[in-house]
Structure 1
Amino acid sequence: MTFSMERIIIGVAWVITALALWLWIPRDRYSLRKAQVAFFFMQMVTWIFGLLVVEWGLIEYPIHEFEHANMTSFTFEFFVYPVICTFYNLYYPETQRYFYEFWYTVLYCTPITLLEIILEKYTELIGYIHWAWYWTWITLFLTFRISRAYIKWFYSSHDTS
């Protein structure tokens, strides 16, 4: 079995993401539960949207993990983005004004979008068919905000945020 650059990128993404979870998720009970809720919620959201954009022919993933199961990027939809969303919610600036909350979300969306642009241009991991980078940025922004609203709602009876 030969390892292409794309397979190496996928492997590195798994290792870095797993290490980030291990290193930066606080070990207290509240943070662990909040991380789980954010992670599982975002898995549900990205799995549905990921399947839709592929089925509608907007994006393709020429190299993906499960050839016969589906055509999405399992690594991004099921693991990497939900973990990033977990950090987004754990470290959210809850006591700041909306201006800071907006820029906090922008600072999460922009690097992810830039990385996707690079991957789309130089690898076979993603291909835009009827898609553009700004759709990625917009959907990231919206899904981050949706996850934040869900976390606030879920913990509304226990949390003052």
Structure 2
Amino acid sequence: MDKLILWALLFLGIALLLFSFIRKPLLIKNSLLAFLIKAYFSTFFGVIVVETHTLDYPVRFLPEYFDTSILFEYVLFPIVCVYFYQTSLRSSFLGMVGQSLLYTTALTLIEVLCEKYTDLIEYYTWKWWYSFVTMFLLTMFVRIIMLWVDHNKLSRE
């Protein structure tokens, strides 16, 4: 059943990514940049968390090659960042913080449910609020980078 959930999430993630590009075709370059930056940093943190044995992913894609959840780090979390970037484009800083809190709350809730009811993730010394804080800070960090990218693009035009 857990493998079925992984495949369903993979197809959902790919569909959401394609839909985000169709929905906002003028933002493809920046959305893709936000996606790649988020994937890079979430992979970095994911490896640290797994290597310190604070949590584990008992059921995952390519377990012989990856100790972390490549689905979450390379697909799902970056896609959420794309949607966050696109929906917060015209938001004030406080609006960005509020939206980031909403996205992070949803992701944390899904993670806690997966930890409790599936073998997709297992906490050892990890707590749900570690995920919340880490995802929130990483989401805001990438959004601030994208603010800088957008600002530099505007100043060149």
Same fold (TM over 0.5): yes
- Is the CA contact 1:62–1:127 (under 8 Å) kept in the aligned structure 2? yes
| Alignment equivalent of 1:133, drawn from 121, 128, 131 | 128
- Is the CA contact 1:93–1:100 (under 8 Å) kept in the aligned structure 2? no
1:53 is the counterpart of 2:54: no
CA offset at residue 93 of structure 1? 4.8
CA offset at residue 79 of structure 1? 0.6
Structure 1 segment 5-154 matched on structure 2, within 5 A: 5-25=1-21, 26-28=23-25, 30-96=26-92, 98-154=93-149
- Is the CA contact 2:88–2:95 (under 8 Å) kept in the aligned structure 1? no
TM-score scaled to structure 1, two decimals? Answer: 0.89
- Is the CA contact 1:34–1:90 (under 8 Å) kept in the aligned structure 2? no
What whole-Å deviation, never above 9, does each CA across 1:4-61 have from its counterpart, x for those lacking one? x111111111111111122233353x40001110011011001110111000111101
What whole-Å deviation, never above 9, does each CA across 1:41-95 have from its counterpart, x for those lacking one? 0110011101110001111011111222121011001111011111111111534
Letter in 1 for 2:12: I
Structure number with higher helix proportion: 2
CA offset at residue 99 of structure 1? 3.2
Q: Which runs of 4+ in 1 moved over 6 A?
A: none
Letter in 2 for 1:108: Y
Q: Percent identity?
A: 25
What whole-Å deviation, never above 9, does each CA across 1:109-137 have from its counterpart, x for those lacking one? 00110000000001100000110110010
Letter in 2 for 1:105: S
2:152 match: secondary structure = coil
Matches of 1:95 and 1:17 in 2, distance apart? 25
Letter in 2 for 1:100: G
- Is the CA contact 1:62–1:126 (under 8 Å) kept in the aligned structure 2? yes
RMSD over aligned CA atoms reads: 1.5
Gaps of 5+ in 2: none
1:18 match: secondary structure = helix
Gaps of 5+ in 1: none
TM-score scaled to structure 2, two decimals? Answer: 0.91
